[in-house]
A and B are shown apart, each in its own frame.
Chain A
Amino acid sequence: MTKSFVTIADLSKEKIMSLLEAAARFEANPNRKTLDGRVIATLFFEPSTRTRLSFETAVNRLGGRVIGFSDAATSSSSKGESLKDTIMMVGNYADLIVMRHHLEGAARYASEISPAPIINAGDGANQHPSQTMLDLYSIYKTQGTLENLNIYLVGDLKYGRTVHSLLMAMRHFNPQFHFIAPKELAMPNEYKIYCKEHGINYVEHTDFTEETIADADILYMTRVQRERFTDLMEYERVKDVYILKADMLKGTRDNLRILHPLPRVNEIATDVDDSPKAYYFQQAKNGLYVREALICDCLGIEI
């Protein structure tokens, strides 16, 4: 059975755990010939070098071959071809399509028409489920469990797609969330309603200090972007508030780990990089194992 992977919203707890366990097996042994003779397409209608390289590395380490494009400008969609036509064509060539698109719902639609299964590598502001899976894997690996953790989300909680997906995926694991954001970028109401409906506890803060984060198990940092503000005075006022510096880590728990979806600009000071609590570079590396697991799962290959 082959199946697509387009959203985190409908993954069961069992499914999440089995994918994380498969990822752990790939971490122990990332180079296998599992995809020998298979062709995987990476269709990046919107460029994303980091995500594309991660998927293509995963395919290469499993012995598969990659076709595709890294920018819509070099594909026939720049000539006005519909998404459907591109997917129908590539779906006849490849065993699996990894796609990124600037339009929301593009991967869902593609999965309904494609002869080959689809992995969503990001559809606009909607979903980026492989990022969420690598976030979960990083949490699981560093804490030994996903259950009953204190998770602090910091920065842009309004537009941050990764924090929204993480929030939804954590609903199975009884987390205590803390939302730390300036008012203009606070967690949107629909996600607070989601928390209430799913029994997820959360506390909101606007200050970001050593005291606020003293009980954190996971500190998930995101970037506060200037272009998100309608009021630039407000931006000037808060831009330096949501920056993590090494001296803020003094009173924090030993098991605290700092995550960031990357790319980072200045929201984590470089002096944090040397702390054993900094985990964002390993987090990116975990993406490889998680994507190996996702590719095999979509192709129905047992690990």
Chain B
Amino acid sequence: MNNKTSLMVAALKDGTVIDHIPSELVFTIASLLELDKLDSSVTIGYNLHSNKLGKKGIIKVADKYFSDEEISRLSVVAPNVVLNIIHDFDVVEKKEVIIPDELHGIVRCSNPKCISNNEPMHTYFHVVDKQQGILKCHYCEKEQNKSKVKLV
């Protein structure tokens, strides 16, 4: 490997490495996981070369382990990312994103006449079909596909 094109990022002692992120989703994921509110070191790689994805992103977060609830927020936009849990420089666990039964405050209802788009309130969806990604708004009861909804 040509050292001049490789990226030097300090190895993580303890924390989480989120790998295989499609480049365009890196900042969305950073915001869904509220990385801007952390005190520990966060390294964000963007537009890195990947044989699998072409370009990929990677996020390294020191001294932070995400809860299942936090990870499930990624299910709408990035269901395929993997979170590597690092302890003492070793990957001790790989966590996949699991679609939760409910989504709170993550996506916006696509129905402009839904109360959730017209009041200062949190959105709330029931995931009615995980395979097909069908969400049902708890308020207006409209079913919608997760590929068509926008993030809050």
Listed in ascending order, the chain A residues whose CB lies under 8 Å from chain B are 7, 9, 82-84, 101-106, 108-109, 123-127, 190
Are the C-beta atoms of B143 and A125 separated by less than 8 Å? no
Residues of B within 8 A of A106 (CB): 115, 139
Q: Is B141 an interface residue (CB 8 A)?
A: yes
A-B contact pairs, 19 of them (CB 8 A): A7-B141, A82-B120, A84-B119, A101-B115, A102-B113, A103-B113, A103-B114, A104-B139, A104-B140, A104-B141, A104-B142, A105-B114, A105-B137, A105-B139, A105-B140, A106-B139, A108-B139, A109-B119, A125-B113
Task: For the complex, give the distance between the alpha carbons of A123 and B116 in Å.
Answer: 13
Q: Mark B115-152, 1 if CB is under 8 A from A, else 0.
A: 11011110000000000000001111111000000000
Instruction: Find the A residue at minimum CB distance from B142.
Output: A104
**Known pairs A83-B115, A106-B115 / 17 extra A-B pairs, C-beta < 8 Å:** A9-B141, A84-B121, A103-B113, A103-B114, A103-B115, A104-B111, A104-B113, A104-B115, A105-B114, A105-B115, A105-B116, A105-B140, A108-B138, A109-B121, A109-B139, A123-B115, A126-B140
Enumerate B45-97 residues with CB–CB distance to A below 8 Å.
none
Task: For the complex, give the distance between the alpha carbons of A98 and B115 in Å.
Answer: 17
Residues of B within 8 A of A84 (CB): 119-121
A87 → B minimal CB distance (Å): 10
Number of A-B contacts (CB under 8 A): 50
Residues of A within 8 A of B139 (CB): 104-106, 108-109
**Contact count band on B:** 10 to 19
Residues of B within 8 A of A7 (CB): 141
Are the C-beta atoms of A127 and B121 separated by less than 8 Å? no
Task: For the complex, give the distance between the alpha carbons of A126 and B140 in Å.
Answer: 6
A273 → B minimal CB distance (Å): 35
Residues of A within 8 A of B118 (CB): 103
Residues of B within 8 A of A9 (CB): 141
Are the C-beta atoms of A83 and B119 separated by less than 8 Å? yes
Task: For the complex, give the distance between the alpha carbons of A103 and B137 in Å.
Answer: 13
Task: For the complex, give the distance between the alpha carbons of A264 and B140 in Å.
Answer: 27
Task: For the complex, give the distance between the alpha carbons of A102 and B115 in Å.
Answer: 9
B25 → A minimal CB distance (Å): 29
Residues of B within 8 A of A125 (CB): 113
Are the C-beta atoms of B113 and A124 separated by less than 8 Å? yes
Task: For the complex, give the distance between the alpha carbons of A40 and B137 in Å.
Answer: 29
Instruction: Find the A residue at minimum CB distance from B117.
Output: A103
B17 → A minimal CB distance (Å): 39
